[in-house]
Amino acid sequence: MDYVEECCLAFTANNINFLIPVSRVKRVCDAIRGTAEGKDMPVLNFPVIAGRKEERQWDYILIIEIGQTAFGLLAEEILGVRVLEEKELLPLHPPVLNERNQYLQAVAKLNGDDGKAELGYLLNPEQLYQRIINDSGSPPGSS
């Protein structure tokens, strides 16, 4: 499975834990201050994609790199960095994995601050990028 034994950044969106490979995270920005990447960079409102009903100002923007392209991913809280082990990951299959959530790759069993196990979803950065293309009709930067 991809990203085993790789550092992943853990964060929350809609009070759900998510992980994304650190190798794809260029920077974490304060969402209020912006990205300093330019106004043309697309930003996915990930808390809303994850099911949050209301729009609001989120706390962080994760700048994700796919090849030569960067995009933003809004997040509520940054939980830290962890290394994923094969035994912690459970692959997702239909009907859990469907056309609306192809950006999910696996479920990871995480240890919470209180020692209790929590679940987190490992994200596939390439599929998040594909969602931007699907939503806009073209890759970012192509006009």
For the stretch 64-107, pLDDT in tens is 999 889 999 999 999 999 888 888 899 999 998 888 898 999 99
Strands 7-13 and 25-30: unpaired
In a domain, 141, yes or no: no
19 contacts 100 by C-beta, under 8 angstroms: no
Give this prediction's pTM: 0.84
pLDDT of residue 49: 84
In this prediction, residue 124 has a pLDDT band, given cuts at 50, 70 and 90, of very high
In a domain, 90, yes or no: yes
In a domain, 1, yes or no: no
Number of domains in the chain: 1
Determine which helix (DSSP H) or strand (DSSP E) holds 27, and give its type and residue range.
Answer: strand 25-30
For 107-121, what is the mean pLDDT? 84
Pairwise CA distance, residues 101 & 98, whole Å: 6
In a domain, 143, yes or no: no
In a domain, 17, yes or no: yes
Q: Which domain holds residue 70?
A: 7-136
Tens digit of pLDDT for each residue in 17-53? 999 999 999 999 988 777 655 567 888 888 888 888 8
Pairwise CA distance, residues 130 & 30, whole Å: 25
Largest Cα–Cα separation, the chain: 50
In a domain, 100, yes or no: yes
Number of helices and strands (H, E) in the chain?
A: 2, 10
For 6-20, what is the mean pLDDT? 92
**For residue 74, what are the contacts with CB-CB under 8 A and spacing of at least 6?**
13, 31, 43, 44, 45, 46, 47, 58, 60, 61, 62
pLDDT of residue 120: 94
